[in-house]
Structure 1
Amino acid sequence: MTLLAVERIKLFTTRSPWWCMVMALVVTVGFAALVAGTSNADDPVTVATTQFGYGFGLVVIMVMAALAVTTEYRFGTIRATFQAVPSRSKALLAKTTVVAVLAGVIGEITAFGSWGIAKLIKGSADLAINSAYEWRVVAGTGLIYALAAVIAVSVGTMIRHSAGAISLVLIYSQLAENLIQIIPNVGPKIHRWLPFNMAQHFLTGRPDAGARGADGPPISEITYSPWVGLLYFGVFALVLLIISLWVVNRRDA
């Protein structure tokens, strides 16, 4: 518990987490307000489309998570941490836990905030959260944000440089996975099993009849259970975390 408290204090005494939290909230809720405000009878707002800003919030969260560890390497405070805590694995796990919990909380606040602002703007729209799909696309955001934070912390630990870590996680999650689809014949098959696509499948797999993804997270066409997607994404995050623990114990701080 002491390690968790220390990591919480270190995280919140820097400005970047606060700026990232505000940006994630403003961007996601702002896009939900825009979608709701521009909807009409022919293109009504739905529970899923209130989550239009999900991807933008995810980007901010991964930046925050990567900075949480790379900033310590940049200013050399990680050395003091490892001197105070001989077990580097415990120190890194404590940091990862704090960042992941914060990311999960932010995810839930932004998701339900987006849904709430849309409901406030379009009171006449059917925005009741009833089905399993609707619950996943809203409440599931926190789980994806938390796991994405674990991935970003792990990458940041291995690379140690803010620019490199942020570039890698953003280029891969936002660009590389989608570009793989253009590889002839095998591209779409490979893409089905890539981690962030699996995370997307958890949120939007097996949609309700008539669900659309044009103004929200793209509808997943994968046929197996969405919970398989969450498990796959979680295992991917765990593997990266284990690798980062091995790396941090093998090299000098």
Structure 2
Amino acid sequence: MSTHQPPMPQAAPAAPDRQPAPGAPYSGYTSPIPVVRTHLGHAIASEWTKIRSVRSTIWTIGVFVLLVVGIGLLAGAVVSNSASSDDLSGESALSLGFFGLLLGSMCIITLGVLTTASEYGTGMIRTTMVACPSRARVLAAKAIVFFGVAFVITLATSAFVAMTQVSMLSDVARTPTGAEWLKGTVGVSLYIALLGLLSLVIGSIIRHSAGAITIMIGAVLAPLVIALFMFSQSLEKVRTALFEYSIPNQLSVFYSNSLSDSGPSGWDPLWIILLATAVAFGAAYLLLEKRDV
């Protein structure tokens, strides 16, 4: 009988040690996906995608356009049919745009608050911060995108209403000057956009949509309403200051139709709202860096 034994299997050769020598560059796997250093432009693109894809933007901007255009055209039609040249002597036809923008500003305020505060309510802010750990960059991107949207929409709407009202009231009101056109379109659009930006920053500070909207609407209406009920002579200075620096009065300044004989004039309201927004923006940045999301 044969005693031949099958050959024993040879052990596989040991895999070569692929560890790089100390100090040598690593030459292992390289991802085919290019690594791109993120910057503010990426955050802006992300925020633009958010603001144009949510329903709140469509609803608030839609209602804003409806209010500004509807009230503006209605006011122009009523005045053109009932007023005479003596009633509006010396008055610019642009002044009627004030009423629609005052109500429409509530929509811009709401959109500004929702741009930041809604993410805290839904928890989406955690995803945002993971995608972009730089909190200052996130806040700056939101501010840039919102301000651009608010300014463009307000400018287009207010310019359309202004041109329509001037044509409707050409027989009973004087033709606006170039400076009045600039203030009644570009100036008031900058003011409304900054008011919305202030609302965005307040939303970032409060982190609650309903609370921030209530605060901003109160800031718009409360000073004027409180001043109306100050009958005491001892409070006359306070009453005058509330009238002069209330947001409705500052809006009316852009139409050369101030509610008071003193107070802000010219482009003063724009610098006031710009200063208030800058201070609030600084506070929001400090709180954003210190608080958890």
Normalising by the smaller structure, the TM-score range is 0.7 to 0.9
Contact 1:16 1:64 in 2 (8 A): yes
- Per-residue deviation, residues 37-68 of structure 1 (Å, max 9, x unmatched): 11134345812113321101111100111111
Shift of 1:145: 1.2
Q: 2 CA distance for matches of 1:201 and 1:47?
A: 11
Q: 1 CA distance for matches of 2:285 and 2:98?
A: 34
Q: What is aligned with 2:57?
A: 17
Call closer, same or farther: CA 1:220–1:193 in 2, change over 3 Å: closer
Contact 1:50 1:114 in 2 (8 A): yes
Aligned residue-pair number: 242
Q: 2 CA distance for matches of 1:74 and 1:33?
A: 38
Q: What is aligned with 1:239?
A: 279
The two structures have a TM-score, normalised by structure 1, of 0.85
Q: What is aligned with 1:69?
A: 116
Is 1:78 matched up with 2:125? yes
Shift of 1:124: 4.5
Percent identical among aligned pairs is 23
Supply the AA of the counterpart residue of 2:222: L
Call closer, same or farther: CA 1:180–1:247 in 2, change over 3 Å: farther
Shift of 1:72: 0.8
**Gaps (5+ residues) in structure 2?**
1-40
Shift of 1:134: 4.2
Within a 5 Å distance, the mapping from 1:147-166 to structure 2 comes to 147-166=194-213
Is 1:27 matched up with 2:74? no
Contact 1:59 1:170 in 2 (8 A): yes
Call closer, same or farther: CA 1:175–1:21 in 2, change over 3 Å: same
Q: What is aligned with 2:158?
A: 111
Call closer, same or farther: CA 1:75–1:223 in 2, change over 3 Å: closer
Q: CA RMSD in A?
A: 2.4
Supply the AA of the counterpart residue of 1:71: S
Q: 2 CA distance for matches of 1:125 and 1:201?
A: 20
Is 1:141 matched up with 2:178? no
1:190 to 226, 237, 241: 241
Within a 5 Å distance, the mapping from 1:118-129 to structure 2 comes to 118-119=165-166, 121-122=168-169, 124=171, 126=173, 128-129=175-176
Contact 1:192 1:198 in 2 (8 A): yes
Supply the AA of the counterpart residue of 1:70: A
Q: What is aligned with 1:228?
A: 268
**Which stretch of structure 1 is more off in the superposition, 192-201 or 42-51?**
192-201
Call closer, same or farther: CA 1:245–1:16 in 2, change over 3 Å: same
Q: What is aligned with 1:88?
A: 135
Supply the AA of the counterpart residue of 2:237: V
Question: SS of the counterpart of 1:226?
Answer: coil
Is 1:203 matched up with 2:250? no
- Per-residue deviation, residues 164-214 of structure 1 (Å, max 9, x unmatched): 11111011212235414645233135326746367436514xx3xxxxx5x
**Gaps (5+ residues) in structure 1?**
208-212
**Which stretch of structure 1 is more off in the superposition, 73-82 or 39-48?**
39-48
Q: What is aligned with 2:10?
A: none
Contact 2:243 2:259 in 1 (8 A): no
Shift of 1:36: 1.4
Supply the AA of the counterpart residue of 1:227: W
